[in-house]
Amino acid sequence: KNDTKDAKVIGKLVLEGRYTQPQFPDGVYADLRILMNQRERLVGDLNAVKGRVHNWLDRFFPEYRQVFKDWEGKASLVTLHHSP
Q: Are 64 and 73 in contact (CB under 8 A)?
A: no
pLDDT of 2 > 70? The answer is no
User: What single-letter DSSP state applies at residue 1?
Assistant: -
Q: Are 71 and 62 in contact (CB under 8 A)?
A: no
Q: Are 70 and 57 in contact (CB under 8 A)?
A: no
Q: How does the average pLDDT of the chain come out, rounded?
A: 91
Query: Where along the chain do its domains lie?
Result: 24-82
Give the rounded percent of residues in the chain with a pLDDT score beyond 70: 96
User: What single-letter DSSP state applies at residue 63?
Assistant: T
Q: Are 71 and 53 in contact (CB under 8 A)?
A: yes
- Tell me: the pLDDT tens digits for 40-81? 999 999 999 999 999 999 999 999 989 999 999 999 999 989
- Tell me: the pLDDT tens digits for 17-35? 988 888 899 999 999 999 9
The model's pTM is 0.63
Q: Are 65 and 58 in contact (CB under 8 A)?
A: yes
